[in-house]
Amino acid sequence: MKIVMIGSGYVGLVSGACFADFGHDVVCVDKDAAKIDALKANIMPIFEPGLDTLVRNNVARGVLSFTTDLNEAVSGADAIFIAVGTPSRRGDGHADLSYVYAAAQEIAEAADDHTVIVTKSTVPVGTGDEVERICRETAPAKTLAVVSNPEFLREGAAIDDFKRPDRIVVGSEDEWAQDVLREIYRPLYLNESPILFTSRRTSELIKYAANAFLATKITFINEMADLCEKVGGNVQDVARGIGLDKRIGPKFLNAGPGYGGSCFPKDTLALLKTAQDHESPVRIVEAVVNANDLRKRAMGRKVIGALGGDARGKKVAILGLTFKPNTDDMRDAPSIAVVQALTDAGATVSAYDPEGMEEAAKLLPDVLMADGPYAAAEGAHALVMMTEWDAFRALDLTKMADIMAGKALIDLRNVYQPDDVAKAGFDYTSIGR
Ligand code: UDX
């Protein structure tokens, strides 16, 4: 199959490289010439484990290429995927669909007759209808099917998620379009990944419902963690105790500083806006969004509490800045609110992150970026475990305590065991334990 990805960001690039790896012929398009030039030189615009090798191998095999020329790319394509961004619209939190609609129009103009257009971007219910209207209006003589096919890729594990998905969702009632998608994903259902065909609107909703449900699960366990702290429970045991119930399941029950990233904050907000517009409010999701927003700054207060309630003139070292490990993504990272709360309270902040410091420096100009975890901790009064990178899981805590000026360790990811930390002489604060 010949596949074109419009948008060579996170989703377009990972999906395109994986489709090529399955043996399809893939062209990734982007308007950003600098990004395309870099990709041709095998420089990835994002940090994603394994992606550079996957891209290099498939470019070498001649099945993956990059271009800024949409017109040329789409000629002869069986399917054209829209994988452009849908950021939160400034001011009202609705998804900004301008890039999707602009792509739809360009595709409709350039595509051959009888082509399948697949929306992979996360878009609110009904967007497919509008894309179809744009196509009909732009190219009334062409038969173009518009399909929804949401992605469920976790940053840091995106290639594995693409190649071994729990399910593939295809929203289309067009039989020929279903056949094209079935053919595209054939290598996956040979692996027994279930492929679910639904209506286009249902498929669009599945994506939001999945992310909102996962965000709810995290927020639920975070609130249980707060309650554990008040009543003397252990949230990890609570998570295990409920997670062993197969109806609940063990995943996404790690209490922490609140969810961040490019998806959960944006998608939960967009879902509740859509629901409000349809006079069918999703009150649970509204509560989740609110609780998660408040939680991030509350984590800053937790650190100040561990410093005895006064952070003025103190130095706080933060390990990990990205919203989760194995990414350089800083979007909606809880670290931003924590750093803000600390600097508002008069503390100075140093930090180390294995991949995120370049991005973080743009958002947090006052933070002193260090060369490594020990350099960050030098002379600090408190050490905050912010993101659970593997590199922070086996630190020499005794050495760490020796080089610090104070003894507070605030572990917002429950990476360490209280006994081990106590042996090194730290005053330990964790989440819900
Ligand atoms: C998510 C979805 O998992 C993916 O399917 C979707 O398509 C895109 O959004 P991603 O944003 O990459 O992926 O990260 P994910 O691993 O889901 O984590 C999101 C946030 O939740 C992170 O800030 C993470 O630290 C937090 N989290 C996750 C927890 O606090 N506890 C958990 O148990 C799990």
Is residue 228 annotated as a catalytic residue, yes or no?
Answer: no
Beta strands in 155-280 (DSSP E): 168-171, 195-198
Query: Is there an atom of ligand 1 within 6 Å of 264 CB?
Result: yes
Determine the length of the chain: 433
CA of 324 to the centre of ligand 1 (A): 8
Residue 261 belongs to some domain of the structure: no
Residue 242 belongs to some domain of the structure: no
Q: What is the position in ligand 1's atom list of the atom closest to the CA of 267?
A: 9
Query: Is there an atom of ligand 1 within 6 Å of 334 CB?
Result: no
Name the β-bridge partners of 95. 88
Residue 278 belongs to some domain of the structure: no
DSSP tag of 137: H
Query: Is there an atom of ligand 1 within 6 Å of 218 CB?
Result: yes
Q: What is the position in ligand 1's atom list of the atom closest to the CA of 161?
A: 5
Helix (H, G, I), strand (E, B) or coil at 197: strand
Domain boundary among 197, 213, 233: 197
Domain boundary among 197, 229, 263: 197
CA of 219 to the centre of ligand 1 (A): 12
Separation between Cα atoms, residue 260 and residue 219, nearest integer Å: 12
Query: Is there an atom of ligand 1 within 6 Å of 253 CB?
Result: yes
Q: What is the position in ligand 1's atom list of the atom closest to the CA of 262?
A: 11
CA of 390 to the centre of ligand 1 (A): 17
Sign of the alpha-carbon dihedral angle for 218, 220, 224, 227: positive
DSSP tag of 392: G
**Residue 184 parent element (H or E):** helix 175-184
Q: What is the position in ligand 1's atom list of the atom closest to the CA of 151?
A: 7
CA of 326 to the centre of ligand 1 (A): 12
Separation between Cα atoms, residue 158 and residue 49, nearest integer Å: 8
**Do 161 and 36 share a structural domain?**
yes
Separation between Cα atoms, residue 311 and residue 288, nearest integer Å: 29
Q: How many domains are contained in the chain? A: 2
What range defines the domain where residue 340 resides? 291-429
Burial of 1 (0-12, 13-18, 19+ CB in 10 A): middle
Residue 227 belongs to some domain of the structure: no
Query: Is there an atom of ligand 1 within 6 Å of 155 CB?
Result: yes
Task: Write phi, then psi, for 162 (nearest 5 degrees).
Answer: -70, -40
Choose which residue among 86, 248, 288, 324 to substitute to test ligand 1 binding: the one with the highest number of ligand atoms within 8 A of its C-beta: 324
Angle (nearest 5°) at CA 250 between 262 and 168: 55
Q: What is the position in ligand 1's atom list of the atom closest to the CA of 254?
A: 33
Separation between Cα atoms, residue 180 and residue 172, nearest integer Å: 11
**Do 192 and 324 share a structural domain?**
no
Domain boundary among 197, 227, 261: 197
Nearest CA to 328 out of 354, 300, 364 is that of 354
Nearest CA, atom 20, ligand 1:
259
Name the β-bridge partners of 319. 352, 385
Instruction: State the residue for tokens 């006994």.
Output: 419
Q: Consecutive 10-residue runs of the chain (433 residues): their mean pLDDT?
A: 97 98 97 98 95 98 98 97 92 91 98 98 96 98 98 96 96 97 91 93 97 98 98 98 98 98 94 95 98 97 98 98 96 97 98 97 98 98 98 96 97 95 95 97
Of residues 18, 135, 228, 263, which has the active-site annotation? Answer: 263
Structure tokens at 2: 């010949």
- Per-residue model confidence (pLDDT) at position 190: 76
**Do 164 and 42 share a structural domain?**
yes
Query: Is there an atom of ligand 1 within 6 Å of 29 CB?
Result: no
Structure tokens at 15: 């999906």
- Per-residue model confidence (pLDDT) at position 96: 95
Query: Is there an atom of ligand 1 within 6 Å of 260 CB?
Result: yes
Domain CATH for 84: 3.40.50.720
Separation between Cα atoms, residue 183 and residue 410, nearest integer Å: 50
Query: What b/e sequence results for 378-416 when a residue is b if at least 16 CB atoms lie within 10 Å of its CB, and e otherwise?
Result: eebbbbbbbbbbeebeebebeebbeebebebbbbbbbbb
Helix (H, G, I), strand (E, B) or coil at 351: strand
Helix (H, G, I), strand (E, B) or coil at 272: helix
Residue 179 belongs to some domain of the structure: yes
Nearest CA to 263 out of 320, 214, 306 is that of 214
| Full-model pTM | 0.95
